[in-house]
Amino acid sequence: MSDHEKMSAKTHKEEVQHNLLLSIRAARNRLFVCFWTFPVYVYAVTQLLNSGSSSTVIMYSYMLLYAFFGISASVKRCPECHEQFFVKRFFLNPFRSQCAHCGLSFKHL
């Protein structure tokens, strides 16, 4: 393999890693949107309860949304060590911006 080929192979690997890190960050951002909208959700449910309407639908949709984003973030794999990026043992920690296992970070993206 020539030097040029070695270099383009490395660049390709970095590009793949970059894209994976972007998708990991996007999954985390979606989960954060859920956290941020929690007060809005509480307000909406309170309003519904006060007006005598059923809040069951909105409660279930919110829980499903949470579960969906939680799962989609927890299944993200680190491009470097292929472990679950946000999960160490059983706990999902979306606040980290580094891999729970090898410390690969997406802060620089």
Among 31, 84, 104, 106, binds Zn ion (CB under 5 A): 104
The rounded distance, in Å, linking the Cα atoms of 79 and 39 is 34
Q: Which two tokens stand for residue 93?
A: 């920690």
- 102 part of the interface to Zn ion, by CB under 5 A: yes
Q: Is 109 exposed, middle or buried (0-12, 13-18, 19+ CB in 10 A)?
A: exposed
Question: End-to-end distance of the chain based on CA atoms, in angstroms?
Answer: 31
Listed ranges 1-9, 29-37, 39-47, 96-104: which one lies at the site for Zn ion (CB under 5 A) = 96-104
x/- map, 47-86, Zn ion, by CB under 5 A? -------------------------------x-xx-----
Closest CB 68 distance from Zn ion, rounded Å = 24
Contact residues for Zn ion, defined by CB under 5 A? 78, 80-81, 99, 101-102, 104
